[in-house]
Chain A
């Protein structure tokens, strides 16, 4: 019998009306990286929230190092050796690295021995293989560096288990390559890492064991060497996925959007390109290359201060989001919860928000018309929801994203800008979004797709623009659209 550092036994968690976890057991060994995968809503985060003391399990037990654990909140879990690093970091941007690592537990006495704290912080970072100025203000650090600070913080609690929730979702390729040695380092320090990710390549690259959750149950657990990528996907979605990127038969039509020498202060410089009906134009580049900024400029979130925009051959100045909408542009933002949906509103209200005039009688909004519109899109886009009037908060990420798409389709947008359209949604829903993109371009819409996932851009685009430092540094078509070529251009 091998010894497990962590054993979660028979964990069940019910919320009013819903069973989120159903008799889940998870065993993790020290010095392993244990992947936890599953579609959104499968129960990964609920399970991890129970492990880190955020939620209390309805039933079931947790054993750490053979001893039964009762957790009273995140802080308590941390002190007992279980740390979690969320996608959004728990760091105070205005304080220094050292201050953040030891936040709230500087000293036992009344006075803070800063020198000692800085030395200790330095030591922790060195243990991770980094020589780092601990006096730097956290707000000035890159995402990867902040993550490093979070890991150091976990180490400072003598963490035996570190949970990483989608650690690479906001990192660039280069930063990811920096993160993996750190994880290796944790492994060799005999720390157990629970690694939650949607990116299966990473799971195969870094993890030792994988557990698969579906609908609140563990549906599979295996050594990473004894399972294939397709087997994992099958278990996650409960069906097999043959092709990752569906084919389409679209015909390129006339140019609908043309941008000439577009600039906005230092964010984007001298951008020119044209977009045709029936086309998916991919925009690749590293984080910070100006891709989102370009989208925001075209959509009038931050209007351009130089250059010209032509829509369907007509020169137009887009000074606000309203004007962009009137020129039949739609913008699916990268931050779905923050800028895509009103989380407390129901599906009809979220969809009709872009064109309330269409669901209005002379004076009043017509609830039945709104519901009819919503039903139409629920059917068309296969939005999975118990009822049309569901609040968005109760939908999964993929279905929320379909609602965002619906609202722009409802506004009659011909030009759709999709910024990270599949971020944070599960494999099955991703595939559906790809199919949907294909259907749309086949109907003659034009799509600009910004994505940090290289395979996605390569698989979905007719043409790829690679951005770097606010400019378009290269354009790739046909045979030249390879990952190597994109990265060559993107990194300098």
Chain B
């Protein structure tokens, strides 16, 4: 077979590979002209503070998807964590509340991991069950009411900012760096890619596939709890329905970024693009006074389009 010089096909591949960032740039530039508020620092810092919260969980979701799994229950873990954090914050103070909530996230994640890796339940069913159960638990504990906390230390922390940027984006950046680092450069990361790329090959190569299937759920639980804590501390309240759209959001930004739902490829660095994309689009919709219900509709359509795109361009369907 001969190798040809650059032809039309290569350009097509370039466009398909980079469609999202290109669209993002075009869109952002045009928004600058359409709406003056868009490029104001207030608005930009708002976008950053906003997406960082969900972004933390999105990193873990990407990792799970690379490993060939996914988790519906992270939305409920998020809601439950806002509740638990606010309750414990009032009772024991910020640091114990943080630790307890993180621990609960890890335990819930480990339970999902146990169901999938050990009991061999399909992730969809297992996390559909835990999603409902955890949400129910949060409702029971709070009697379906929002919980407030008036802890002053927490108030101070949540109001702390440098030029409008709160502590949340910093946490987000740390999480992102850790994820990218682990996935790309460590044995641990390679295990996740191999397990998601071809479970049987990984197993026959002596890789502890069950451990990886398990650990991605633990990471998801922990990250969903961390996101919940960030959210709870920002509004000083917890409520079961908070973060209901988290799972959907995480899958959307992962796929927009270019991580295939088939597992085995992609990466957290790509998800950042997805997060920026969704952040900018929905901020723009808000600025253009598109209502919340309409935005929900758009969100669903975006997800479907992106997955359709993924299915069409994914070479593996043909192979």
Contacts and interface: CB of A to CB of B under 8 A. Distances in A.
Interface of A: 14-20, 41, 215-216, 299, 301, 321-322, 324-326, 331, 333, 338-345, 349, 352-354, 356-357, 360, 363-365, 386, 393, 407, 411
Interface stretch (B36-44, B52-60, B170-178, B184-192): B184-192
Contacts of A333: 204
12 contacts: A14-B4, A15-B9, A19-B1, A41-B1, A321-B206, A339-B198, A341-B198, A344-B316, A345-B264, A357-B187, A365-B185, A393-B315
B200 A338 contact: yes
B7 A17 contact: yes
Contacts, number: 96
B165 interface: no
Nearest to B264: A344
A353 B4 contact: no
B214 interface: no
B319 interface: yes
Contacts of A325: 205-206
Contacts of B190: 349, 352-353, 356, 365
A315 to B, nearest CB: 21
B4 to A, nearest CB: 5
Task: Tell which of A15, A353, A363 has the most Cβ of chain B within 10 Å.
Answer: A353
Given A16-B7, A353-B207, A364-B185, A345 B193 contact: yes
Contacts of A321: 203-206
Contacts of A407: 205
Contacts of A41: 1
Contacts of A357: 187
Contact of A345 (B185, B194, B208, B316): B194
A169 B225 CA distance: 53
Given A322-B207, A344-B265, 19 more contacts: A15-B9, A16-B12, A17-B4, A17-B10, A19-B4, A321-B205, A321-B206, A322-B206, A322-B208, A324-B206, A325-B205, A326-B206, A345-B194, A349-B194, A353-B205, A354-B205, A356-B187, A365-B187, A365-B189
Contact of B201 (A16, A322, A326, A339): A339
B264 A342 contact: yes
Interface of B: 1-4, 7, 9-10, 12-13, 185-187, 189-191, 193-194, 197-198, 200-208, 264-265, 315-316, 319
B315 to A, nearest CB: 8
B1 A18 contact: yes
Nearest to B12: A16
A484 B160 CA distance: 85
A342 B194 contact: yes
A357 B4 CA distance: 39
A369 to B, nearest CB: 12
A330 to B, nearest CB: 10
B4 A360 contact: no
Contact of B206 (A15, A215, A338, A354): A354
B186 A364 contact: yes
Contact of B197 (A216, A331, A342): A342
Given A19-B2, A321-B203, A324-B206, A345 B197 contact: yes
Contacts of A354: 205-206
A331 B204 contact: yes
Given A341-B198, A342-B264, A353-B205, A216 B9 contact: no
Contact of B204 (A18, A20, A339, A386): A339
A255 B4 CA distance: 53
Nearest to B184: A365
Contacts of A341: 198, 201
Contacts of B207: 322, 353
Contact of B319 (A339, A340, A343, A352): A343
Contacts of A17: 3-4, 7, 9-10
A341 B198 CA distance: 8
B92 to A, nearest CB: 35
A16 B10 contact: yes
Contacts of B13: 16
A340 B13 CA distance: 28
Contact of B198 (A15, A16, A324, A342): A342
B3 A363 contact: no
Question: B9, B12, B202, B206: which has the most chain A beta carbons within 10 Å?
Answer: B206
A357 B207 CA distance: 12
Contacts of B187: 356-357, 360, 365
